[in-house]
Amino acid sequence: MTEKINLYDLDLTELTQFLEELGQPKFRARQIWEWLYRHYTADLSDMHNLPQSLRDSLAGKACVSQLQIVSAQHSSDGQTEKILSQLPDGQYIETVLMRYDKRRTLCISTQAGCAMGCVFCATGQMGFFRNLTAGEIVAPVMHFARQLAAKGEHVTNIVMMGMGEPLHNFANTLQAVDRLTDHDGFNIGARKITISTVGLVPAIRRYADEGRQTPLAVSLHAATDAERNKLIPINKRWPITELMDACRYYIEKTGRRITFEWALIAGENDTVEQAQALGRLVQGMLCHVNLIPLNPTKGYGGGPSSREQVEKFQQVLAQYGVGSTVRVRRGIDIQAGCGQLRDRVVNG
């Protein structure tokens, strides 16, 4: 049996070509595109301005999504929801919706598993399985867009900080961004999508050359190679000096501020000495530091920094003229926080 085409995997040009091969006029592709990305339609039979014959033909050759929602969890405060989804080949990914005052932010995945092996990250602890296609990256966004629309709400922000390293899946990640930012489709602003990387230097430079408006966040977590090597294995390939050169290149090419992510681990990287090293490292750069008290995972014994230590860390950064904020922790009770996403079916 021929595998059905996932319509989310097609850009508008490819969708137009697919419809032409079915003997359909070009405008049918635009109609389907709007059903997918403006109306968040999950069922081909609901596309009622298409001829029944076309809907029947499409049903035999294509599908809106091959994503199956296995489970959904809600945090005790009602502000966070996490879904576990199964892909056609049996792999699983997790996606998180976080509710703030006026924002509805999605944390989405770009890979099943992750090859980076960051020691404090649950996804890194489970290993790498495969890249997601552009359609598989987009599908959970559409799921939540559909769910929010039923309540008169909409997705306001997207962070590519879920399972996987987005720049390790460079082409599919940016294709997904193109789907989501298309003015005639989902039409979320490019600056509302943040792409996170653990520090793939060539990919950061390549991303800078793309000239995109989507912001970049770099998971730094340590300001010296000795400390970062313990936490981020990829640092042994591209040490901090090379990483910072790439970050400066990004700022120079785009004129955009870069965000440095820093998971504060008690007694490990939350010391005054590390804060001073970080201050010296990024002083004068167009950047901001996002501090994240460590979220617990089964595979790592470190704990989050105390509020007092977090404040002290921020005070030191301020002495170097480096701005910082502390991320609001959400969904910790359902393992939906930063660094906690993993395959819950196989790995528990």
Radius of gyration of the chain from Cα atoms? 21
- Determine the 3-state secondary structure of 17 from DSSP: helix
Q: Catalytic residue among 81, 94, 136, 227, which?
A: 94
167 within 8 A of 203, measured Cβ to Cβ: yes
Task: Fill in the DSSP letter of residue 265.
Answer: B
As a whole number of angstroms, the distance between CA 126 and CA 113 comes to: 6
74 within 8 A of 84, measured Cβ to Cβ: no
Q: Please, what sign has the CA dihedral across residues 190, 293, 221, 277?
A: positive
Structure-block tokens of residue 45: 């039979």
| Phi, psi of 190, rounded to the nearest 5 degrees | -60, -35
Q: Catalytic residue among 107, 121, 247, 338, which?
A: 338
Residue 308 annotated in active site? no
Residue with tokens 């809907």: 55
302 within 8 A of 265, measured Cβ to Cβ: yes
160 within 8 A of 108, measured Cβ to Cβ: yes
Q: Which residues of 273-285 are buried (b: 16+ CB within 10 A; e: fewer)?
A: ebbbbbbebbeeb
- Determine the 3-state secondary structure of 107 from DSSP: strand
DSSP 287-301: EEEEEEEPPPBTTB-
Residues 6+ apart with CB under 8 A from 4: 61, 62, 63, 66
Residue 34 annotated in active site? no
| Positions marked catalytic | 94, 338
